Amino acid sequence: MKILLIEDEVKTVAYLQRGLTEQGCIVDVANNGVDGQHLALTGDYDAIVLDIMLPGRDGIEVLQALRRQKSTPVIMLTARGEVDDRIHGLQTGADDYLVKPFSFLELLARLQALGRRGRPQESTHIRMADLHIDLIARRATRGTRRLDLTAKEFALLAALARHRGQVLSKTVIVEMVWDVNFESNTNVVEVAIKRLRAKLDEPSEIKLLHTIRGMGYLLEERSEASA
């Protein structure tokens, strides 16, 4: 899942960003309402976690602006616990509401539920040749061999698999697997591709992950890898 976190509390941001990243999520962060609204309107997210009390522009204003253009699922996250505040947020267009302090596991479960609701057409399983990817369990196998992937390697494989047969450029992969603050001039994509290929293809006769020189990377069933 790709999540936008609009929150100004440094400790909360660090806690949620670390926890969600460990779960394989891509997390973009805005620490004020102005930047948060810009990202919400211009980015493509599975869900947004939005605090009400924000500098620059409060969460209700951000939500109102978002709902005029998009239906991205939103969880309101705030220290306010009064019933009137919760009702206001839900009436404005929030899909769910959590009051601080909260359980991270509960937030994660609600985000996953909203993500499934927002994209019901997407299968939770991807199959290609002898590759099987379970997007919910975050598990990948080739035949009877389970792939021991890191969170980023799994996210990379899932991104390529969702667009199988399509060449993805380095820039596109960075947007899908990392976040808006990532420095795309580094070689981290090449390194991640190399590690993923070693786990995915090297033990198998049929190669799935291919490099298309000058263009990007492709997941496709072939007998030989492209040079």
Mind listing the pLDDT tens digit for each residue in 153-212? 999 999 999 888 889 888 778 878 876 556 656 688 899 999 999 999 988 888 999 999
Report pLDDT for 225. Answer: 39
C-alpha–C-alpha distance, residues 74 and 204, integer Å: 42
pLDDT grade for 130, boundaries at 50, 70 and 90: very high
Report pLDDT for 108. Answer: 87
Length of the chain in terms of residues written: 227
Alpha helix (H) residue ranges in 70-187: 83-92, 104-118, 151-162, 170-177
**CB burial class (10 A; 0-12, 13-18, 19+) of residue 129?**
middle
Would the pTM of this model clear 0.75, i.e. be above it? no
DSSP strand pairing (74-78 vs 96-99): parallel
Report pLDDT for 16. Answer: 92
Q: How many CA atoms lie within 13 A of 74 on its CB side?
A: 28
66's enclosing H/E stretch is: helix 59-67
Report pLDDT for 169. Answer: 85
* Residue 105 or 41, more confident: 41
pLDDT grade for 39, boundaries at 50, 70 and 90: very high
C-alpha–C-alpha distance, residues 176 and 45, integer Å: 10
Going along the chain from its start, the domains and CATH numbers come out as: 2-118 (3.40.50.2300), 125-222 (1.10.10.10)
Specify the DSSP class assigned to residue 120. T
- ∠ CA 81-82-86, rounded to 5°: 85
Report pLDDT for 171. Answer: 76
Lowest mean pLDDT among 11-15, 22-26, 83-87: 83-87
Alpha-carbon distances of 217 from 159, 163, 209, rounded to whole Å: 11, 11, 7
218's enclosing H/E stretch is: strand 216-222
